[in-house]
């Protein structure tokens, strides 16, 4: 497992750490010598991870329960982190979910839920670390967005809207903190092999149609950890999908016409 020497002795906080990209990122940070704070609703899984990390890597690993959609709980959790860890060097806003459905079928509860976690929860967590990072003139905020935030497709209208919002927030935040020594990075992966699709696409058709094009969480986590504490604007994976997003920004009508068949594979 590749190491990032910049992380040795640093404190990394990861939301949605109990599985998928969050879990893989946590283990790679620990392998680089970072101390971990793991946040998720699944505290039992977090505690198992924290114990495994302490035993295997000899670093500090703290597991705390946090439901990102309960925005009123976030400040108290971050106060506890600061009390126990002293400071936060890297915040990875990884928690998020999606539901794939045609716009006419999306319920108000679906809309509220996705925005509560993917957007508002991310913003509230970020607000908790900004003052400390600014004061220390050091830190890195990494927001896990999606290629869906650059190129929306059918059946992902609300999910794409949340990720467009994350990118807009991230781009503004990056400029605000540029003079304070705090890095801000957006991570825009395409579809990954996680339990995300258990909820997003219960039929399994989308994952089946993606086949070998689906990303591994290990690969994405490796890229994320490699970039920690560097001034990296974005991480975009896979390259061919990001090229499509760039092309879409220039020639939207052409891409919508030529990609119509592929876009409806959900």
The residues, ordered by sequence, that sit 6+ positions from 161 with a Cβ below 8 Å of its Cβ are 115, 152
Tokens 């086949």 sit on residue:
211
> Is 154 strand, coil or helix?
coil
- The CA distances from residue 160 to 100, 118, 220, 234, 253, in Å, are 10, 10, 20, 17, 18
Instruction: Provide the pLDDT for residue 2.
Output: 86
Domain coordinates of the chain in residue numbers? 5-263
Question: Above 60 in pLDDT, residue 201?
Answer: no
Is the confidence at residue 155, as pLDDT, over 70? yes
Q: 5-263 maps to which CATH number?
A: 3.40.50.720
Query: 26-66, pLDDT tens digit by residue?
Result: 999 999 999 999 999 999 999 999 999 999 999 999 999 99
Instruction: Write out the H or E segment, with its range, that includes residue 224.
Output: helix 217-227
Model pTM?
0.89
Is residue 159 part of the annotated active site? The answer reads yes
Mean pLDDT, the chain, rounded, equals 91
Q: Does the pLDDT at position 129 exceed 90?
A: yes
Catalytic residue among 27, 97, 159, 169: 159
């Amino acid at each position: 497992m590749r190491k990032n020497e910049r992380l040795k002795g640093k404190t990394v906080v990861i939301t949605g750490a109990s599985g998928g990209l969050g879990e893989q990122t946590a283990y790679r940070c620990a392998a680089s010598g970072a101390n971990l704070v793991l946040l998720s609703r699944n505290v039992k899984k977090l505690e198992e991870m924290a114990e495994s990390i302490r035993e295997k890597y000899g670093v500090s690993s703290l597991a705390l329960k946090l439901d990102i959609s309960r925005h009123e709980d976030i400040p108290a959790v971050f106060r506890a982190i600061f009390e126990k860890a002293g400071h936060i060097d890297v915040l990875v806003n990884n928690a998020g979910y999606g539901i794939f459905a045609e716009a006419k079928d999306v319920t108000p509860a679906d809309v509220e839920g996705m925005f509560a976690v993917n957007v508002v929860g991310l913003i509230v967590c970020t607000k908790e670390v900004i003052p400390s990072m600014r004061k220390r003139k050091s830190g890195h905020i990494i927001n896990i967005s999606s290629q869906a935030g650059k190129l929306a497709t059918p059946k992902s209208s609300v999910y794409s809207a949340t990720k467009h919002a994350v990118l807009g927030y991230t781009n503004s935040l990056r400029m605000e903190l540029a003079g304070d020594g705090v890095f801000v990075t957006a991570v825009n992966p395409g579809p990954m092999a996680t339990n995300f699709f258990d909820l997003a696409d219960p039929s399994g058709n989308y994952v089946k149609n993606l086949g070998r094009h689906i990303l591994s969480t290990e690969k994405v986590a490796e890229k994320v950890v490699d970039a920690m504490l560097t001034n990296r604007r974005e991480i975009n994976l896979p390259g061919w999908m990001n090229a499509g997003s760039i092309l879409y920004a220039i020639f939207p009508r052409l891409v919508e016409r030529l990609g119509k068949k592929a876009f409806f594979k959900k």
